[in-house]
Structure 1
């Protein structure tokens, strides 16, 4: 007689029992300041923002971020509607990148961005030549991130303070055209059997390496 299989039960709280994200309507006299949004003060703020920006207008959040963004940019190739782009945008927002540059197709899957694209500057370049022209005009070196033969370990490379970190799309990685125009191509140390980590994870590792080098002053 075969053993009866008992369906596993969900371990988390039921959907209607999960704690709400954010805060409810403002209690007491409303705070003063043009950066506050009357609708959010009245109805509550359930957005994906840190507590510092609760009840703030979106435009006010962007303006405040603009005063504190770091001087590195992120570029990612988008030739086949890469689903990782949303994750890259979200991470760029978390680390306060100056801007994200989409190279190739204009349309991209925004689901993974978790609405952070509303607060992050995003530019589109139809091709590699356009990105190169923009980078040269702003005196920014292109630093490719990909595990390729001849690449330099990210862990030992001194990332420039002002630069563009460039990522290829899932699967093929950096295109040959982009590789040729990069000042350097850096690899991320891996120790398992997989050939590479996905573009979203690679972007997070590289951006954090920049943060460690230039915000915390550590050697990477």
Structure 2
């Protein structure tokens, strides 16, 4: 009988006999496992429906990216040793400092690294070719600073901040100001003269870029800047909340030295550098104010004009408080 031979090496040891073992499933082949329900066509790799879905997703992502670029919401990269140091000194929010491997280290690079380390900003040494790609051909001098999109306040938050203050509310709205340096300078003036916030349009206007933040001399860190989808509608909502709307215009209804609304809750609207106030915004204003000129100059820079009027408003409010 097979397996019972007494020849050397032919004897089967005890417990090695093959056969059915309880719980083993016997010698049958392992059953095949199903793959589950068939996924939708959009999720099958290589399927035409999946390719169309991927194309739609890519187009939508590009659309969103384009909108964010148009609204100034994309990550910004500051290039060059002086601009990077100035941004870090002004405490511009940043996520990473890139330094090219082998770059010549001078006082500016040393200070940039020290300031970034002090604020907990990531410091990355990268090949110069990576910086060239990030800069897109622009001069970077071996350093680049990544600045995330600015976190804008909601227009209603400016009303809330003004309501909590002991003095009458003071908000500055910019109508089509496209130079970020003007925006930053206005933010600085509003903070200096007791304002409660700055309102900017969502489109066709300067946003809070690194340049604007730097020009504000750090005031942007504590003064809210709100973004309005529709500036005219937001101004009307502010008027409904009890604010007087005053626009700056060279042909204004009243001169600044006769501006009696300065002590009231006030929204001061500053027009663009070239065209001034837009038609709809002008129609929304309760009054337009002009700055009297003593010299042959016809107009002032938008941020300078805002600073002059804010200083007069602050003066009248101090006198009224006595």
TM-score (norm 1): 0.62
Contact 1:128 1:177 in 2 (8 A): no
User: SS at the partner of 2:227?
Assistant: strand
Shift of 1:67: 5.1
Tell me how far apart the structure 1 counterparts of residues 198 and 173 of structure 2 sit (CA, whole Å). Answer: 6
What is the match of residue 178 of structure 2? 80
Distance 2:310 2:177 in 1: 22
Q: Choose 1 or 2 for highest CA Rg.
A: 2
Q: Residue 96 of structure 1 corresponds to which residue in structure 2?
A: 194
SS of the residue aligned with 2:319?
coil
Match 2:268 to one of 157, 160, 165: 165
Q: Secondary structure at the match of 2:181?
A: coil
Structure having the higher helix fraction is: 2
Structure 2 counterparts to residues 16-95 of structure 1, below 5 A: 71-78=169-176, 80-95=178-193
Displacement after TM superposition at 1:152 (Å): 1.3
Root-mean-square deviation (CA), in Å?
A: 2.6
Deviation at 1:70, TM superposition (A): 5.1
Write the deviation string for residues 141-181 of structure 1: whole angstroms up to 9, x where unpaired.
21011212x53101112024211011012121111221111
Partner of 1:28: none
Unaligned runs of 5+ in 1: 1-20, 22-42, 44-62
Q: Distance in 1 between matches of 2:302 and 2:260?
A: 21
Structure 1 CA distance for aligned equivalents of residues 180 and 278 of structure 2:
14
The answer to whether the aligner puts 1:120 opposite 2:223 as a matched pair is yes
Separation of aligned partners in 1, 2:166 and 2:188: 17
Contact 1:100 1:123 in 2 (8 A): yes
